[in-house]
Structure 1
Amino acid sequence: MRTGGTPGGVVDGRYTLLRPLGRGGMGVVWEALDTRLNRQVAVKELLFRGAVDPDTQAQWVRRARREAEAIARIDHEHVVAVHDVIEAEGQVWIVMEQVDPHSLADLLREHDRLPPLNVARIGLEVLRGLRAVHAAAVLHRDVKPHNILFRRDGRAVLMDFGIATFEGAAQVTRRHETVGTPQYLAPELASPWTDGPREATPAADLWSLGVTLFEAVEGRAPFRGPTPVEVLHAVRHADLPPMRHAGPLRPLIEGLLVKDPESRTGAARAEQLLQHVAQETPLQPLPLPRPARAGDGRNDTDGGREAGATTEVHLERTPVPSPLPAAPDAPRPPAASRRRRALLRAAAGAAGLALLAAAGWYGVERLREEAGPRLSSSPTWQAARDRGYLLVGVKEDQPGLSRLVDPATGEYEGFDVDLARAVAERLGFEEVRFETVNTKSREYRLTSGQVDLIVASYSITEERKKEVDFAGPYYLAGQDFLVREDADGIDGVEDLAGRQVCTVERSTPADRLEDEYPRMKRQLRVSYGVCVDELLAGTVDAVTTDDVILAGYRAAHPDRLRLLGAPFAIEHYGVGLHKGEPALKAAVCEAIREQIDSGAWKRSYDRHLKPLAPAELSDSRPPELRECPRP
């Protein structure tokens, strides 16, 4: 009887090898028949003995054994299942469930890029599998499109744990070996060995997931280069390229691709965001890539897609009903139509949710009936009422204004958060839920119906008023500069000429900096938190935005940072609303007035903002509500 390694060979007297499904950096994956249970399986075999030197072969055997141990620790629907492990005569065979051999990488080669909502569904399933991996104290270390496959029902499955590591695992990689695929490797793992040992953490796997999501929606990897060394340099130092097609996934991808692992979006928050996006629209089927033909090279899962790649391919002939639409580039319906559809979906899915307290919203209706249009004429308010709670967009990283306190429970605190709760109560809602938004995504998240309103240091400008409406302003801030306490020679604004000043792209402070101080060298980032990290690290000389935001960061690092105390412009913070809903705007304006008149505004200011920098904030008095004319 023939043994393993050739078609017709038998492994352990039980698994008959039928045909190779693919070859990767460490072995061959076979389609096989389990003759004892009469079921098809996949069998992974190391490269043939004699092809490499004995030391390398022994290293690969240890790595294959560790892969089997790693997967065997996990039992999850989105992680490939291991049925058996056979080790004999210096060879390891891993017997796995058989899934479709076409990977997410194959889909991207076929379709170039995929719609964000479908990528969100795939990403959500992969993340859930990844969280199960981490819960088992295992790190995958090679998350990428090639290692994401699909079951018959279209569910995504995380594969290939060949370089995984877990607590108690023996070290089987060489000191100077790059472990993983360069363009998916996290920056903290892409540093030269001369910088010290590189410790993998769950945050590194989340970075790799972020790169995968970016590639799936944009059709290209974010960090590239002609050689692996240049790819790793880009991973460590290059800014994240702008995204044109990410849509509602943009904030999540930006959060996962923060270079500092301590500031990177965590798994719990990432799952919340992916779940929100994935549930926005029903998914439609998309045909998988055409079947591979003999000799066309498509069994090589890496397909030359990236420099310095590692990896393998996988499993099964039965076509999978993929969750991807056949026309990813089809034009989207107008914003108003999308919003109406989102509102209808929210209303249709409201069964079983807690309704608003009848007396609360009835009282609001009576108030609005006397002053103008009834609040029930607002599609946003009506959809939120049917849903059972109000969705408010806030920032998560601005001490004093709005800060995510507990990612697991979604608890926020701050001056903006207090106002948002007061608005929700005034609108008749007993429950308010918060969604993190960033500067670049605010208009999109609001106009696409993903949030009902926004309270997120949202400056009222004439340009923004073309897309959204505002109630307020509820606070006045002045733009200032934050510098390091030990920055010699920076005592005033004039000292920043020719220096690196960091702010957020597509923000009012960024535009004003370019107009007011063209001699400063702008460095644009995705969030002010990233700017402050770079200021602390010494890679930029200053950060500029509203003084109240900077005061919060200064309060977090009182011995290392200082404000210049020279505000040069005034920002008017308003509550962002959908256009064309006068009843909702009037009700929000009434809520802001009530906060001010009752003294709640001053109490919230004293609690959250005054302790930050009482002598430096531009104004502690409520502003005139210019966007809220009295009826």
Structure 2
Amino acid sequence: MRNGGTPDGGPHTLVDGRYELQRPLGRGGMGVVWEAYDNRLGRQVAVKELLFRGAVDPDTQAQWVERARREARAIARIGHEHVVAVHDVIEADGQVWIVMEQVNPRSLADQLQERGRLAALQTARIGLEVLRGLRAVHAAGVLHRDVKPHNILFRRDGRAVLMDFGIATFEGAAQVTRLHELVGTPRYLAPELCTPQGRSPREATPAADLWSLGVTLYETVEGRAPFRGPTPYEVLEAVREDEPPPMEYCGPLRPLIEGLLVKEPLERLTAQRAEQLLQHVAQETPQYPTAFYPEDGRPPGTESPWSVGDSVTSTGADTGPLEPPDDATGSTGPTDPAAGSRPSAGSADSADSAGSSGPPDSSGPSPSADPGTPVPPRGLAARLRGPRAWAAAAVALVVLVTAGWFTVDRLSTSAGPSLDSSATLRAARERGFLLVGVKGDQPGLSERSAQAAGGFRGFDIDIARAVAKHLGFDTVRFEVVNTQSREYRLSTGQVDLIVASYSITQERKESVDFAGPYYVAGQDFLVPARSTGVNGVADLDGHKVCTVQGSTPEARLRTEYPRIVLEPRASYGLCVTDLLAGTVDAVSTDDVILAGYRAQHPSELRLLGAPFASEQYGVGLHRGEPALRAAVCDAIRDEISSGRWKSSYDTYLKPLAPKELADQLPPDQTECG
């Protein structure tokens, strides 16, 4: 794997003839991380290698190789701004090299070693970003299992990044740890995993990662670890049996940290509630209140894919560089002495125990209240305590009514339910805009654009704007969602609707509703322009084909074309990068998505133009809101009948592949009957 140079990473030390190792950035239990230069794409990267051969016995070496391979697979499934990105994985001669984005190698642990502790405000901002990355990890079905300050790094703009998934596990991964081997770092390990010798440990869940985050935040704000001992065994005993020492500098972080450090995982603070508390302490005003759902973050009648605290989070406003406040603690106000008692996770009382520095007020009508009962503005109530809160809420509702919200209700038929029955629409009216989940990297369909209103442009964006206008919203805001997290983002109320090349499938209809379809695409392949021998799916047997983990194209290829070698990634953008780099032979997904990428590289890539299956794109909605679904269906029909559908299609999609997409027509509204 190395061509020339010296073993210490001197000049011209190459990996795979491409990545030039320049200097070591750090060394850990499983290997060395190098600063390197990608000669093919002209960018700085980080390359992680295992310890040198001969440093450990062959069995341990083989185990580390499998762990490194699993780490790369785990990270590649995620794709989130607060999780380190994997660019490439190279295997040869029993060695695994993981090529990652380069971030500042100075970790949170390094900062704590230099400064002792951080202010509560800065700690909350870091914790909020790490939690958002962690929720993305859990939404992808991955457990990190080693959250600690050493594994929290920062990008140049100060954003926290979660990394080092060397012992991560995910559904379908083989267990590579040996019997009685400790998995994780003792002082950050959850108590349910610190089982005495001779007993079987409990199964790890996302709640274990939340415990580790709680320990990390305690250490960050207090300057000392909550559980200590002269030996690893005594540390584990302390984790299992002892309560953490009283905190001195935590300020308004007290209820959050104590809620995360509940010994019983089922009673531990949920990820959703933890994010609300961190937003409050970090002084990040919520950009949008969500539908008023129970503590578990799910609307009534839906099932959670995890038993405890999973999800992916909002990728809302960037909190910016993390500078400490002038005061020593960063406290945003006095801490109520009553906050010293441990909150009961999932209880309304746990929120109020923080006193004036607690989380946003969660008081208000329950989800089982009369559907016509307005939901009080949660963001407003969080800032106004006592009788004035309800008075202000009443005034706000009067303003909304007089502004014309009731006129929108005429969209529902007299025979059907009123739009006021929609919890989603009530929450959107409360905040004053519709929140729509979209993709950010699909040319023609939905992509970021600094010049476009709202920062996005494309065919999907036009559909989303049409729906918003039909529902009475002048303002629509877009939230980037990934393939793996769309159902969860809807079910937890983090977005109101999803318009993101969202294929309608029977499996998805068990957890979300659809309106539409508004477009029908065909599954096809993108290949290098020089590969003239590939003209259809049969020509790709034995070839590496990249697609997105958890997508319908992946499921179809896996079941119907088992001789194709699948290379799943977190996004199609990563797949195209690998195709251009020559590490995969083709990319497969919907033809309209592939056409967008081909248009970006017309001389290097070729769309086969031989679709072998079809996908219907629908607007994703919460389950059990028939009035909202009917209104969205009306919006799609109106967009088609008015001619705006064709105009948008001709503007964004047809130019991508004039020959392959020329005859596309609006589909029948089979989900709107």
Q: Give the gaps of 5 or more residues in structure 2.
A: 1-81, 84-102, 127-147, 178-203, 211-220, 236-245, 271-295, 303-364, 369-373, 382-391
Work out whether residues 402 and 414 of structure 1, in 8 Å CA contact, stay in contact via their aligned partners in 2: yes
* SS of equivalent residue, structure 1 residue 573: strand
Shift of the alpha carbon at 1:620? 1.8
Amino acid at match of 1:336: P
Shift of the alpha carbon at 1:370? 3.0
Change (3 A) 1:286 1:363: farther
The match for 1:27 is none
Q: Give the gaps of 5 or more residues in structure 1.
A: 1-122, 125-138, 160-180, 187-199, 227-242, 250-284, 301-315
Shift of the alpha carbon at 1:493? 2.3
Work out whether residues 401 and 609 of structure 1, in 8 Å CA contact, stay in contact via their aligned partners in 2: yes
2-structure distance, mates of 1:372, 1:158: 45
Work out whether residues 478 and 567 of structure 1, in 8 Å CA contact, stay in contact via their aligned partners in 2: yes
Change (3 A) 1:201 1:317: closer
Work out whether residues 357 and 429 of structure 1, in 8 Å CA contact, stay in contact via their aligned partners in 2: no
Work out whether residues 151 and 157 of structure 1, in 8 Å CA contact, stay in contact via their aligned partners in 2: no
Work out whether residues 524 and 610 of structure 2, in 8 Å CA contact, stay in contact via their aligned partners in 1: yes
* SS of equivalent residue, structure 2 residue 456: strand
Shift of the alpha carbon at 1:156? 1.5
2-structure distance, mates of 1:215, 1:411: 36
The match for 1:83 is none
* SS of equivalent residue, structure 1 residue 450: coil
The match for 1:431 is 475
Amino acid at match of 2:378: A
Shift of the alpha carbon at 1:379? 0.6
Amino acid at match of 2:206: H
Shift of the alpha carbon at 1:387? 1.2
After TM superposition, list the pairs within 5 Å mapping 1:79-94 onto structure 2. Answer: none
2:645 paired with 1:601 = yes
2-structure distance, mates of 1:438, 1:246: 23
2-structure distance, mates of 1:500, 1:246: 36
Shift of the alpha carbon at 1:184? 5.8
1-structure distance, mates of 2:622, 2:375: 17
The match for 1:142 is 106
The match for 1:16 is none
The match for 2:265 is 329
Change (3 A) 1:537 1:448: same
Residue number among 138, 156, 165 corresponding to 1:202 in the alignment: 156
Work out whether residues 459 and 571 of structure 1, in 8 Å CA contact, stay in contact via their aligned partners in 2: yes
**More displaced, 416-425 or 609-618?**
609-618
The match for 1:156 is 123
Change (3 A) 1:247 1:550: farther
TM-score of the pair, normalised by structure 2: 0.50
Change (3 A) 1:371 1:618: farther
* SS of equivalent residue, structure 2 residue 606: strand
* SS of equivalent residue, structure 2 residue 668: coil
Change (3 A) 1:488 1:417: same
The match for 1:380 is 424
Change (3 A) 1:575 1:498: same
TM-score of the pair, normalised by structure 1: 0.53
Work out whether residues 155 and 161 of structure 2, in 8 Å CA contact, stay in contact via their aligned partners in 1: no
* SS of equivalent residue, structure 2 residue 414: helix
Shift of the alpha carbon at 1:289? 4.2
The match for 2:163 is 211
Change (3 A) 1:290 1:487: same
Residue number among 567, 585, 593 corresponding to 2:611 in the alignment: 567
The match for 1:34 is none
Change (3 A) 1:496 1:588: same
Shift of the alpha carbon at 1:446? 0.3
1-structure distance, mates of 2:574, 2:651: 26
The match for 2:466 is 422
Work out whether residues 493 and 564 of structure 1, in 8 Å CA contact, stay in contact via their aligned partners in 2: no
Shift of the alpha carbon at 1:369? 4.4
Residue number among 476, 484, 494 corresponding to 1:440 in the alignment: 484
1-structure distance, mates of 2:403, 2:506: 38
After TM superposition, list the pairs within 5 Å mapping 1:250-289 onto structure 2. Answer: 289=225
* SS of equivalent residue, structure 2 residue 587: strand
Shift of the alpha carbon at 1:209? 1.7
Work out whether residues 152 and 161 of structure 2, in 8 Å CA contact, stay in contact via their aligned partners in 1: no
Change (3 A) 1:248 1:362: farther
Shift of the alpha carbon at 1:217? 10
Residue deviations 1:19-41 (CA, integer Å, cap 9, x gap) = xxxxxxxxxxxxxxxxxxxxxxx
2-structure distance, mates of 1:248, 1:555: 42
After TM superposition, list the pairs within 5 Å mapping 1:551-562 onto structure 2. Answer: 551-562=595-606
1-structure distance, mates of 2:156, 2:416: 54
The match for 2:444 is 400
Work out whether residues 463 and 636 of structure 2, in 8 Å CA contact, stay in contact via their aligned partners in 1: yes
**More displaced, 582-591 or 319-328?**
319-328
2:379 paired with 1:349 = yes
Residue deviations 1:566-619 (CA, integer Å, cap 9, x gap) = 101110100000111010000000100110011111111011101100211285
The match for 2:74 is none
1-structure distance, mates of 2:168, 2:468: 35
1-structure distance, mates of 2:529, 2:450: 30
Change (3 A) 1:292 1:510: closer
Change (3 A) 1:378 1:588: same
CA RMSD of aligned residues (A): 4.6
Change (3 A) 1:345 1:289: farther
Residue deviations 1:106-151 (CA, integer Å, cap 9, x gap) = xxxxxxxxxxxxxxxxx89xxxxxxxxxxxxxx8432245645744
Residue deviations 1:66-87 (CA, integer Å, cap 9, x gap) = xxxxxxxxxxxxxxxxxxxxxx
Amino acid at match of 1:445: R
* SS of equivalent residue, structure 1 residue 471: strand
Work out whether residues 118 and 223 of structure 2, in 8 Å CA contact, stay in contact via their aligned partners in 1: no
Residue deviations 1:257-305 (CA, integer Å, cap 9, x gap) = xxxxxxxxxxxxxxxxxxxxxxxxxxxx999843656x5699x9xxxxx
2-structure distance, mates of 1:421, 1:595: 10
Shift of the alpha carbon at 1:335? 2.2
Work out whether residues 547 and 575 of structure 2, in 8 Å CA contact, stay in contact via their aligned partners in 1: yes
Shift of the alpha carbon at 1:330? 2.1
The match for 1:173 is none
* SS of equivalent residue, structure 1 residue 370: coil
* SS of equivalent residue, structure 2 residue 672: coil
Amino acid at match of 1:245: P
2:529 paired with 1:485 = yes
Work out whether residues 117 and 223 of structure 2, in 8 Å CA contact, stay in contact via their aligned partners in 1: no
Work out whether residues 477 and 617 of structure 1, in 8 Å CA contact, stay in contact via their aligned partners in 2: no
2-structure distance, mates of 1:512, 1:608: 27
Work out whether residues 598 and 606 of structure 2, in 8 Å CA contact, stay in contact via their aligned partners in 1: yes
Work out whether residues 218 and 246 of structure 1, in 8 Å CA contact, stay in contact via their aligned partners in 2: no
Work out whether residues 503 and 616 of structure 2, in 8 Å CA contact, stay in contact via their aligned partners in 1: yes
Report the count of equivalent residues.
386
1-structure distance, mates of 2:588, 2:231: 54
After TM superposition, list the pairs within 5 Å mapping 1:360-375 onto structure 2. Answer: 361-370=405-414, 372-375=416-419
Amino acid at match of 2:600: A
The match for 1:134 is none
Q: Higher Cα Rg: structure 1 or 2?
A: 1
The match for 1:519 is 563
**How many percent of aligned residue pairs carry the same amino acid?**
50
Change (3 A) 1:596 1:154: closer
Shift of the alpha carbon at 1:348? 1.8
Change (3 A) 1:346 1:422: farther
Amino acid at match of 2:156: P
The match for 1:313 is none
Shift of the alpha carbon at 1:490? 2.0
